[in-house]
Copies of this chain bind each other. A is one copy, B any other.
Amino acid sequence: MTLVWMVPATGLAAVLFALWLAQDVLKRDTGTPAMQEIAGMIFEGAMAFLSRQYRTIGILAVVTAVAVAVLVGSISDGVKPVLYDSANHQLTFSPEVVVGRWQEGLLTGIAFLVGAMCSGLAGYIGMFIAVRSNVRTAAAAQKSLKDAVTVSLRGGAVSGFLVVALSLLGVSGIFLVYSRILDHPPEIAPFLIVGFGFGASFVALFAQLGGGIYTKAADVGADLVGKVEAGIPEDDPRNAAVVADLVGDNVGDCAGRGADLFESMSAENIGAMILGVAIFSVTKNIEWIMFPLVLRSFGIIAAMAGLVSVPFFTDANPKSKQDPMTPLNYGYYVVSALSVIGLFIATKVMLGDAWYWFFFCGLIGIATGIAFVYITQYYTAGSWRPVQEIAEASRTGPATNIIIGTAVGFETTALTAIAIGLALIGAFALGSQADISPAIPPFTTGIFGTAVATMGMLMSAAYILSMDTFGPITDNAGGITEMSGAPESAREITDKLDAVGNTTKALTKGYAVASAGLAAFLLFSAYLDKVKERLEIPLTAELPIDLSKVDVFVGGLLGAMLVFLFSSLAIRAVGNAAGAIIEEVRRQFRSDPGIMAGTSRPDYAAAVDITAKAALREMVLPGILAVSMPVAVGLIFRYARHESVVTTLNGVTYTAHNASGWLAVSGTLIIGTIVGILMATVLNNGGGAWDNAKKFIESGGLKDEKGNTLGKGSEPHKAAVVGDTVGDPFKDTAGPSLHVLIKLLATITLVLAPLFIKSGSVTKTGTPTAQPGTTIEQQVPDLASHQTLQDTAQEAIAP
């Protein structure tokens, strides 16, 4: 327990840090009255949407929490503790129920609500500061680039650190309550808090969907009705949808991505704790369960140091006065370097004699994070082949722009899959070398290795999220500067910041996909541990999810299909919501000709309101699909099919009858995850590349045969605008929502696993045999009093 004190300490430190940043930002200059007026409208619109959105989500969450509690309560058998049978070196389950099924349901429901609330709180406070930082950034941009960077980065960091802190405090707090205060054994508490992850995913799904639909509907709608139909420039104050567009940047990129990473961290943390249970049950060393929390605490320290270091790099490096991305990158290297040190301390102190294997696993995670920075930049930045290829293709019109853009988007899956594959194989292979005890097979430590890699990667989450929220703040600052008629010099600074913001937003999405990929295996294994726990099969037994079984295959086919259908609904939702805005702006142009003349002000609030309503309406269908499909697959297969699964451990053969429900769900979960990761990559990077191909042309990168620049307004530029518009719902609605879908699949199946499992469906045959490795020395502490020897191996539990 040496380092566990760090968890509350760093959690509180992160909150205080965020509060300090918040008051620092809030006390700064709020600019001219014109700026304040526009910022006020954005603030009102954003908070109004957020309140309404969270009200809707709140109602859905309470209904779901009650449904989960009732379902788990009525279907579960209650929780039995995991025991270590030291004579046979294997894990078994006690026949006594330590948590009754209704209590289990209640605890799961409460955990769901706490997770949902923490996620909502983090999003709300972060947004509150972000939509107050934008005008201060605009004001600072009238002074200097450095001031503007400081304000926007600090404003973004409020959101970043609050999200991480609330996730850490939430998970550790509910774990503390369920294990210490309610006095449940520490090896079952992780199973009780999975509801927290589900709650966080649930909120994230709707936050990301609603926010993503809002932001792109407003963006596409404003562009189509303004730039295309009316022929007025972007962010022109005569366009009634322009404030909605600026509001959208916040609700999509800030609140949506915050909720996305909140649930990533929470779900993966809980999953890693579940994987630690198997090792804890043997070693009785609680560090295996607490390790993920401690590692994240080190991550917070590293992220704080990294963020504080950014201004120094700005001062030290004259080049960074030109390109604000450079100091941000240096800051990330500081975070990575400090993460390595933290990882070293945490693994050395907590993970016993074989710690170094897990240290290397963590290194793989950190390295994967850095690799994705480069992969994402290669595919989405104007300096490399992919974006330039799209810009080139724009010469022959929008069709070739789209064709090559699609080809680039598809292509990005290659490096992504190879990097994730290498990281998974590497972490698994290293982890499986760790010899902790003969009762712990290599695949258990191997999977724990992938969990350490995931947690290692997520150490930098607070910093990454700060950079991400930097994006909408600078985007907004640009809009405010434009609309308030600020001087050209300020606009130049905000343009520069905006370009950096686009890069950081793309990086965060790459980071989210990579972490989802690394975590896929850990979350799937946590689900299987939950299934084993329900079936009372030892956690160290391998439970084969056999792809050659038709149930797994069809479950997987449906999981892959879910990704496509969900993306389809999300993309279409943007189209539908954009239609609503376009009609409203047209109506305003018609009813008041003074708007176009610039003599009367359009009704921005009406456009904001209509966008909000449309986005909330449109988020329901994809959201319900995502939540209901895995449940439907599990229930249908549970009752319609009767496949069996056989596994053998130490001479005892376990046959799980009627296993089709959880088998099919396994297929849906894992193949849905694989396809989801790749599709999210395609949509995020394809969209980003289209966006930057347009910017590449705007910045004069394309020339005709005679060497004249083909810039804004040229035919290739028009073609590139089409690509950019197509990419918008891909990269900011469907893609990011897919990250959440993947995690939701994991958490929903984890929580509702009992629904898909026929209880008492396992028969056991054979006598336990002594393991080959019994002579190897091991670290089992003297806690034998806590262990009971089970002699039920020969007994058939069900006929």
Contacts and interface: CB of A to CB of B under 8 A. Distances in A.
Interface string A322-336: 000000000000000
A339 B648 CA distance: 46
B564 A224 contact: no
B722 A397 contact: yes
A400 B224 contact: yes
A726 B450 CA distance: 41
Nearest to A571: B407
Interface string A624-662: 000000000000000011000010100001000000000
A348 interface: no
Interface in A549-577: 549-554, 556-558, 560-561, 564-565, 567-569, 571-572, 574-575
A471 to B, nearest CB: 23
B550 A446 contact: yes
A429 interface: yes
Nearest to A422: B554
A674 interface: yes
Contacts of A722: 397-399, 402, 722
B528 A548 contact: yes
Interface stretch (A454-462, A505-513, A539-547, A744-752): A539-547
A228 interface: yes
Interface string A199-238: 0000000000000000000001000100010000000000
B725 A571 contact: no
The winner among A398, A450, A560 for most chain B CB atoms within 10 A is A398
A525 interface: yes
B545 A396 contact: no
Interface string A362-394: 000000000000000000000000000000010
Interface string A400-422: 10111011111101101110110
Interface string A563-603: 01101110110110010001000000000000000000000
B568 A408 contact: yes
Contact of A568 (B407, B556, B574, B641): B407
Interface stretch (A106-114, A128-136, A664-672): A664-672
Given A404-B572, A417-B561, A421-B558, A545 B542 contact: no
A678 interface: yes
A452 interface: no
Interface in A666-697: 666-667, 670-671, 674-675, 677-678, 682
Contact of A228 (B397, B413, B729): B397
A178 interface: no
Interface in A422-440: 424-425, 428-429
A637 to B, nearest CB: 9
B550 A542 contact: no
A521 interface: yes
Contacts of A545: 546-548
A448 interface: no
Interface string A469-494: 00000000000000000000000000
Nearest to A409: B568
Contacts of A543: 548
A262 interface: no
Contact of A547 (B410, B567, B578, B666): B666
A421 B575 contact: no
Contacts of A568: 406-411
Nearest to A683: B406
Given A411-B565, A521-B550, A725-B399, A421 B557 contact: yes
A705 to B, nearest CB: 11
Contacts of A721: 399
The winner among A397, A443, A564, A722 for most chain B CB atoms within 10 A is A564
Contact of A553 (B396, B411, B670): B670
B571 A726 contact: no
A718 to B, nearest CB: 10
A298 interface: no
A571 B403 contact: yes
Contacts of A725: 399-400, 403
Which 10 interchain pairs have the tightest Cβ spacing? Answer: A410-B568, A417-B561, A399-B725, A544-B544, A544-B546, A413-B564, A407-B572, A545-B547, A411-B568, A421-B554
Given A224-B396, A428-B550, A556-B674, 14 more contacts: A220-B400, A399-B726, A400-B575, A400-B725, A402-B402, A407-B568, A411-B572, A414-B565, A416-B561, A520-B553, A544-B544, A553-B674, A556-B670, A646-B648
29 contacts: A220-B399, A224-B396, A228-B396, A228-B397, A393-B575, A398-B398, A398-B722, A400-B725, A403-B571, A403-B574, A403-B725, A407-B569, A407-B575, A410-B565, A411-B565, A411-B572, A417-B558, A417-B560, A417-B561, A421-B558, A424-B550, A521-B553, A544-B544, A546-B546, A547-B666, A547-B667, A547-B671, A556-B670, A722-B722
Interface of A: 220, 224, 228, 393, 396-400, 402-404, 406-411, 413-414, 416-418, 420-421, 424-425, 428-429, 443, 446, 450, 517, 520-521, 524-525, 528, 542-554, 556-558, 560-561, 564-565, 567-569, 571-572, 574-575, 578, 582, 640-641, 646, 648, 653, 666-667, 670-671, 674-675, 677-678, 682, 721-722, 725-726, 729-730
